[in-house]
């Protein structure tokens, strides 16, 4: 499934996106644009907006899906809906998605280190 964007924000989903994650919420979590079910399915609704990769970096196709998923899961943690004990798993998923989408392993390792530090 590809990610399509809508104009108006830096990035905004033009259609919903879903992915199976290793993040298992004890009960389903749902807010306006994000849903995480107990089996690990993350569903990010159409119109969800995010800033893309953060920090002193370039937004490239091999980083967009990872930044989308990472931002949505961190949003749930920041809102107190997802326990912060999942942080390391969320960061690892970010790294795995970078590699899966074709980012060079050395660059992906630097990005992973940055999210671990900050």
Rounded to the nearest 10 degrees, how much is the dihedral formed by the CA atoms of 54, 1, 12, 66? -10
| Chain mean position to CA 110 | 17
- Does the pTM of the predicted model rise above 0.85? yes
pLDDT at 25: 87
Determine the Cα–Cα distance for residues 111 and 14; give it in Å rounded to an integer: 26
Half-sphere exposure of 26 (CA within 13 A, CB side): 4
Determine the Cα–Cα distance for residues 12 and 48; give it in Å rounded to an integer: 5
Determine the Cα–Cα distance for residues 13 and 4; give it in Å rounded to an integer: 6
pLDDT at 1: 65
Contact partners, residue 76, CB within 8 Å, separation at least 6: 29, 31, 34, 36, 82
Q: Tens digit of pLDDT for each residue in 81-94?
A: 999 999 999 999 99
Residue 44 φ/ψ, nearest 5 degrees = -115, 120
> Please, what are the averages of pLDDT over each run of 10 residues along the chain (118 residues)?
70 95 93 96 96 82 96 96 96 97 96 88
Q: Tens digit of pLDDT for each residue in 35-51?
A: 999 999 999 999 999 98
């Amino acid at each position: 499934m590809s990610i399509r964007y809508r104009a108006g924000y830096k990035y905004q989903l033009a259609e919903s996106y879903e992915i199976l994650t290793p993040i298992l919420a004890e009960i389903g979590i749902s807010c306006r644009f994000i849903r995480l079910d107990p089996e690990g399915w993350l569903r990010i609704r159409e119109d969800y907006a995010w800033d893309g990769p953060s920090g002193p970096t370039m937004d490239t196709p091999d980083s967009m899906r990872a930044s989308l998923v990472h931002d949505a899961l961190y949003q749930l943690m920041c809102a107190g809906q997802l326990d912060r004990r999942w942080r390391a798993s969320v960061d690892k998923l970010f790294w795995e998605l970078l590699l899966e989408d074709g980012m060079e392993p050395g660059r992906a390792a630097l990005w992973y280190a940055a999210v671990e530090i900050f």
